[in-house]
Amino acid sequence: MRRVLFAVVVFAAGVTAGAAQNVSVIKERKDHLKQMGDAVKPVAAMFKGEADFELGKVQSALKIMQEKAEILPGLFPEDSKTGGDTEALPVIWEEKADVEARFKKLGESAKAAEAAITDEDTFLGTWKGVAGNCSGCHKKFRKPKS
């Protein structure tokens, strides 16, 4: 009887640890995506003419995008498909190579834009291409906002 009880406790602990790891990865992924979104929002407002152009904010957002584009592909392990209020759609794991390629393209695009954007005119001519990388992933790989 003790062995059975011990086995049940060990199994439950293993399930709990596995679930905690899953939720931990999802939380980390969401935190990185939120940081990127928070950096991009004021820049999007500049692009729409809702805020004054500030080169420093644009450059900061581009750096954050580059950093997150390197980190995020590793935050979609198999055990993070569900839980933690994830907004990730199952297609991410079915088309993992595409997801990784998109993050790589985002990072490269943000790096190129960082060098190209020197004033408001170059910003207006460049930003849409960078931001397009984000919206493409959102449409295909993220649950629609309700």
Residue 84, token pair as written in the block: 């933690």
| Per-residue pLDDT tens digits for 55-102 | 999 999 999 999 999 999 999 999 999 888 899 999 999 999 999 999
Residue 110: closest CA among 34, 33, 36: 36
pTM: 0.82
Architecture of domain 2-141: Up-down Bundle (1.20)
Q: What digits encode the pLDDT tens for the residues 90-131?
A: 999 999 999 999 999 999 999 999 999 999 999 999 999 999
Domain locations along the chain: 2-141
- List of long-range contacts for 50-56, beta carbons under 8 Å, 24+ apart: 53/119, 53/120, 53/123, 55/117, 55/118, 55/119, 55/123
